[in-house]
């Protein structure tokens, strides 16, 4: 059989770094949310671009699907091998290849995580700012065009990737972008690969833009009687030109979850969690100006912190929101969905989503990156209750349609994967078929992460 010939060739290439064991296949069939366990036929662990190229040449010749695997922290089933074939685990491609402080650039392999990178960069005075919460692999973050808590100031992966090395479906190696600050030389292939979720090529090297570590950082948390007041506070802050590094929202359910998980005593109300970066003087001034806005908008329990320990506790609590919410309903699973709308429609979108969740009889805490108009609903489901899953999918569908009606998008940062594929035509119209044509041109056999994004 063709698959046996291909697997024999892959085993000869990789040795013990190629496995068909049930344990490894099961590990690579898991996901962070509600999708069923989906086993690949085998797992491969390349260590170099050359090995990725050889793997794809073999799989292309024998029509074997290849699904890239990073830290498996994605939420829409991106890394599941729904057509079988190879799970291509980039975990051993985790090296920093070159650091160029004078250019504020770093060159890395895709399996390196964002926390590992920033730990290594500490001595340089630079850092990589994109923070999706999970300690995701940077290759996966590029593939999903990730963003997160710091996007309001530093942008998403779209703004912080200068160049890529990518292996195409037939094993061809290409380079996109450059180390220059800008270019007008032809099609932007870097942008094309960002957000392609492994359907157009396998990212094997990234050149990332770095930023200077701020001299001073101040963080705060404050409560509001209503979500509308919290959003209006954010809108006013943005209009005043106060530069925020992070501005996050959590609803009263999440505040309750935080208290249970972390021993805090937050009022069970909507909260904003904010952070400012700058000099000692500017961070203090920004904090004071924001505090005045909060006071005008009726915010309460306003507490600032400039100590590293207190700030770390605050953001650790925020980043731990998903597992903390899961713990609030023991044994449950999560259907986590996100939408992004113009900030002028954010309060309306959240209010209508909360009504949908209540009408469906579900438990669904809401949190998000309020400065971007992006929010998440964590729908907590009984694993054995198929009706709850059906109702949750209906709520997610209404959220997507609402976002489009408001001039927004079906996903601000989670990506498409399998979970949002059914809404792509509604958002993009004929543009979705153009995406399919690009996919067919670069991957005519359809072996790269099949079943995701495109028609």
Report how far residue 455's alpha carbon sits from residue 435's, in angstroms, rounded to the nearest whole number: 8
Q: What is the CATH number of domain 96-212?
A: 3.30.465.10
Q: Any idea where the domains of the chain sit in the sequence? A: 2-91, 96-212, 216-321, 327-414
pTM assigned to the model = 0.95
User: Under CATH, what is the fold of the domain 216-321?
Assistant: Alpha-Beta Plaits (3.30.70)
CB-CB contact of 211 with 255 (8 Å): no
Sign of CA dihedral 208, 209, 214, 215: positive
Place of tokens 């101040």: 218
* Class of 327-414 in CATH: alpha beta
Residue with tokens 């997160």: 148
* 2-91 and 96-212 have identical folds: no
Cα of 269 vs its chain's centroid, Å: 26
Map residue 432 onto helix, strand or coil. Answer: helix
Residue 134 to residue 446: CA distance in whole angstroms: 30
Query: Can you give the pLDDT of all 455 residues of the chain as single tens digits?
Result: 689 999 999 999 999 999 999 999 999 999 999 999 999 999 999 999 999 999 999 999 999 999 999 999 999 999 999 999 999 999 999 999 999 999 999 999 999 999 999 999 999 999 999 999 899 999 999 999 999 999 999 999 999 999 999 999 999 999 999 999 999 999 999 999 999 999 999 999 999 999 999 999 988 899 999 988 998 998 899 889 999 999 999 999 999 999 999 999 999 999 999 999 999 899 888 888 998 999 999 988 777 877 888 888 999 999 999 999 999 999 999 999 999 999 999 999 999 999 999 999 999 999 999 889 999 999 999 999 999 999 999 999 999 999 999 999 999 999 999 999 999 999 999 999 999 999 999 999 999 999 999 99
Residue position matching structure tokens 């491609």: 93
3-state class of 384 per DSSP?
coil
d(CA 212, CA 33): 35
**Of 132, 284, 154, 169, nearest in space to 210 by CA:** 154
Contact 31, 40 (CB under 8 A): no
Domain covering 2-91 assigned CATH 3.30.43.10 in the classification: yes
């Amino acid at each position: 059989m063709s698959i046996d010939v291909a697997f024999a060739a892959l085993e000869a290439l990789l040795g013990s770094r190629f496995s068909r064991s049930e344990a490894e296949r099961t590990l690579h069939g898991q996901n962070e949310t509600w999708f069923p366990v989906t086993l690949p036929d085998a797992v491969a662990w390349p260590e170099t671009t050359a090995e990725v190229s050889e793997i794809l040449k073999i799989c292309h010749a024998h029509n074997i699907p290849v699904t890239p695997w990073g830290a498996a922290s994605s939420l829409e089933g991106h890394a599941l091998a729904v057509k079988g074939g190879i799970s291509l685990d980039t975990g051993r491609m985790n090296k920093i290849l070159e650091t160029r402080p004078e250019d504020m650039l770093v060159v890395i392999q895709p399996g390196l995580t964002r926390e590992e990178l920033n730990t290594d960069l500490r001595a340089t005075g630079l850092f990589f700012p994109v923070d999706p919460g999970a300690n995701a692999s940077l290759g996966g973050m590029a593939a999903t065009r990730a963003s997160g808590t710091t996007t309001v100031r530093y942008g998403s992966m779209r703004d912080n990737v200068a160049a890529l090395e990518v292996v195409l479906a037939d094993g061809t190696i290409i380079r996109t972008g450059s180390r220059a600050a800008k270019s007008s030389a032809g099609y932007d292939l870097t942008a094309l690969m960002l957000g392609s979720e492994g359907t157009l090529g396998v990212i094997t090297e990234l050149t990332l833009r770095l930023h200077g570590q701020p001299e001073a950082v101040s963080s705060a948390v404050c409560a509001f009687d209503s979500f509308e007041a919290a959003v209006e506070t954010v809108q006013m802050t943005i209009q005043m030109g106060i530069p925020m590094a992070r501005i996050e929202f959590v609803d009263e359910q999440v505040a309750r979850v935080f208290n249970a998980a972390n021993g805090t005593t937050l009022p069970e109300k909507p909260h904003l969690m904010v952070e400012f970066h700058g000099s000692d003087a500017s961070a203090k001034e920004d904090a004071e100006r924001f505090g005045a806005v909060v006071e005008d908008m009726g915010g309460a329990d306003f507490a600032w912190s400039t100590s590293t320990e207190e700030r770390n506790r605050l953001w650790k609590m925020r980043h731990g929101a998903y597992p903390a919410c899961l713990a609030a309903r023991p044994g449950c699973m999560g259907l986590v969905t996100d939408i992004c709308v113009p900030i002028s429609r954010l309060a309306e979108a959240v209010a209508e989503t909360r009504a949908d969740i209540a009408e469906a009889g579900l438990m669904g805490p809401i949190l998000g990156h309020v400065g971007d108009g992006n929010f998440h609903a964590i729908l907590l489901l009984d694993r054995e209750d198929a009706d709850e899953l059906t109702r949750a999918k209906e709520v997610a569908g209404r959220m997507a349609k609402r976002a489009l009606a408001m001039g927004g998008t079906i996903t601000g940062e989670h990506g498409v994967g399998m979970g949002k594929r059914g809404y792509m035509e509604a958002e993009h119209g004929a543009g979705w078929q153009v995406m399919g044509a690009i996919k067919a041109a670069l991957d005519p056999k359809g072996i790269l992460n099949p079943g995701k994004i495109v028609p």
